[in-house]
Amino acid sequence: MGKLIGQRAIASLLSLLGLMVLVFFLSRLTGDPAVLFLPIDASEAMKAQFRALHGLDAPLIEQFGRYVLDLLQFNFGDSLRKARPAIDIVMEAYAWTLPLALITLSLVIVAAIVLGSIAAFNVGGFFDRLVSIVSLIGASAPDFWIAIVAIVVFSINLGWLPTSGVGTPWHWVLPISVLFIRPFGLIVQVVRGSMLSALSSAYVKTARAKGVKNLPIIFVHTLRNAMLPVITVIGDQAAAMLNGAVIVETIFGFPGIGKLMIDSILQRDFNVVLAAIMVTAVAIFIMNILIDIAYGILDPRIRH
Amino acid sequence: MTELSLTKLPPEKSGFATFLAMLWRDKLAFVSAMVLLLIIIAAVAGPTLLGDLATSQNLRGRNSPPFDMSRGWAFVLGGDSLGRPMLARLIVAARSTMMVAAGAVATALVIGATLGLIAGYMGKKTSQVIMRLADVIMSFPSLLLAVVVLYVLGPSIPNMILVLAITRIPIYLRTTRAEVLEVRERMFVQAAVVMGASHWRIIARHILPVVAPTLVTIATLDFAFVMLAESSLSFLGIGIQPPDITWGLMVAQGRPYLTNAWWLALWPGVMIVITTLALNLLSNWMRIALDPAQRWRLEARSTKDE
């Protein structure tokens, strides 16, 4: 296991380097920060001074060399906008995104496993169809639209919940609910499908023949086997959430990594963009390792 | 029951007719196909038929409420913030929405499948290079890609297609490669090799027909995904730019008027939901209908019902 993780870490480090180079040069194609940051009537001299101050006047390749040297000392550079270390800003944003992702994913997993199992247990029944239809509609609706409709209904018309921002637990309700919908639709379908095939296997028939009740069949016999494909989908969804829910965070004014990413791209705050992308890549790498460990726990065959 | 109907094979009909009959049997898939057909017809013919109705402003009809026929049929879904009829706007937006999604899916499909065929069929080295390329594309943030392309090449519908196509190539590449790796070990491919068939012939006549159904199914599902991605980017302001419009952009434009004119953001969203839902249902059905190993489920059902 340790050796495997080591190999994976080296391969990931290589693609992380490739990503870093690509992002560094491509993001600098998107224009001159001096034009965006200085007032519109700023003179050429002021712009030149701004570029010199932030090291943007040197040839690209020299800027890149300097960046890599700094990076080797774990210095991600300063944010142009906030004049603070970029890595601090990214970490602060993660402190918001991580709980949001964790809470949402936990709710999704619990709900999807419970409802998906029940649906698989009475296949073709009313409840099964209800779950299928709801999950399909959930997977088909764009999240920005759901978010807007939710704001109109729950914040403006009913006045139950705040429209945006953070501060009280109530501010978390709408972002979590909107984020919940699509992963739930996907995962509940996978749970249902893999539960169905597990339920038709020989060991379940044996257990039934021995007179085992329904609940032990679900929780003792089938769930563990049915979880493997589910874990894969959960991994994909978790990766998407670590990337930040750009849309949801933007609409609800949630200061997470997704909002930081889009804001810093639009403001050409290159150091923050790079730091955010690299930290996200590392987070996704760690999560993939956790997923692999989960596989090992669920399926002894993989451990060996 | 199914075994019985299998032994009693139906009279051989033309491929297309059986296909249509199979579609008719599954009412949900049939309705989805009809809805999509309607949207495609509206997208292709609508804008020409409407003329300048979608752009003519009528300041008296500003934010006029829906279901009010006093301004004529075009205002049945209400008017937007400049008094342009929503229905006409939706039809015009349908064209660019469909064009972007179709263009991106087709481009990604062709490039991805070609690279996937090469990666699966050629040796390990070529495959490694192509797969690492796909890895980098997959980890590259699509938001940044969109901003880079829009800034360097300028905002336009073809450039939007380019952005979305690049992000979707890995999906087709990986699927094609995985299938090719499996198919090329099968007996009939081995036999073709032994009989001296050329590489081109093996790929085109023996491998591609087996891989194609999977690709078509994925493309249908992906069409919905690309449509959502385009509308998200347009919503964030880094996608389609006015005066072009898509449904996603219409939702974004309607957002400031949420409190007094909810229909501006609601209708385009409803259109997106209907289209994606139909595509999802259709691709569910296609997954079975296009798979030779599973098609008997549908065919058996249709002979049983007759």
Tokens found for residue B191: 């036999």
Kindly report each contact of residues B283-289 with a partner whose C-beta sits within 8 Å and lies 24 or more positions away, as own/partner.
B283/B217, B283/B220, B283/B221, B283/B224, B284/B29, B285/B23, B285/B26, B285/B28, B285/B29, B285/B32, B286/B213, B286/B216, B286/B217, B286/B220, B287/B217, B289/B19, B289/B22, B289/B23
Q: CA-CA distance, A50 to B138, in Å (whole number)?
A: 35
Q: Are A17 and A72 within 8 A, CB to CB?
A: no
Q: Residue holding tokens 């049983």?
A: B304
| Per-residue pLDDT tens over the stretch B144-187 | 788 888 877 877 888 889 888 988 888 888 888 888 887 777 88
pLDDT classification of B257: cutoffs 50, 70, 90: confident
pTM flag (> 0.80) = no
Instruction: With a threshold of 0.90, tell me whether the complex ipTM lies above it.
Output: no
- B219 contact partners, CB below 8 Å, separation of at least 6: B105, B109, B172
Tokens found for residue B94: 């349908």
Determine the number of helices (DSSP H) and then strands (DSSP E) in chain A: 15, 0
Interface of B with A (CB under 8 A): 132, 135-136, 139-141, 143-145, 147-148, 151-152, 224, 228, 231-232, 235-236, 238, 248, 251-252, 255, 258-259, 262, 265-266, 269, 272-273, 276-277, 280-281
Tokens found for residue B110: 């062709």
Average pLDDT over residues A20-32: 80
Please tell me the predicted confidence (pLDDT) of residue A159.
73
Q: CA-CA distance, A1 to A219, in Å (whole number)?
A: 28
Q: Does A243 touch chain B (CB under 8 A)?
A: yes
Position B294 pLDDT exceeds 70: no
Please tell me the predicted confidence (pLDDT) of residue B1.
44
How close A220 comes to chain B (CA, Å)?
A: 31
User: What's the mean per-residue pLDDT of chain B?
Assistant: 77
| Per-residue pLDDT tens over the stretch A95-125 | 888 888 889 999 998 998 888 888 887 777 7
Average pLDDT over residues A284-292: 81
Beta bridge partners of B79: B85
| Per-residue pLDDT tens over the stretch B186-220 | 888 888 888 887 888 888 788 888 788 778 878 88
How far CA B206 is from CA of B173, B177, B179, B258, in Å, comes to 18, 15, 12, 55
Residue-wise burial string across A55-88, b where 16 or more C-beta atoms lie within 10 A, e elsewhere: ebeeeeeebbeebeeeeeeeebbbbbbeeebbbe
Instruction: Of A40-49, A115-124, A291-300, B105-114, give the range with the top mean pLDDT.
Output: B105-114
The count of CB pairs under 8 A between chains A and B is: 100
Best residue in B27, B236, B255 to probe A by mutation, most A CBs within 10 Å?
B236
pLDDT classification of A6: cutoffs 50, 70, 90: confident
Average pLDDT over residues B39-66: 71
Q: Higher confidence at residue B101 or residue A47?
A: B101
Burial class (CB in 10 A: 0-12, 13-18, 19+), B294: exposed
Please tell me the predicted confidence (pLDDT) of residue A107.
93
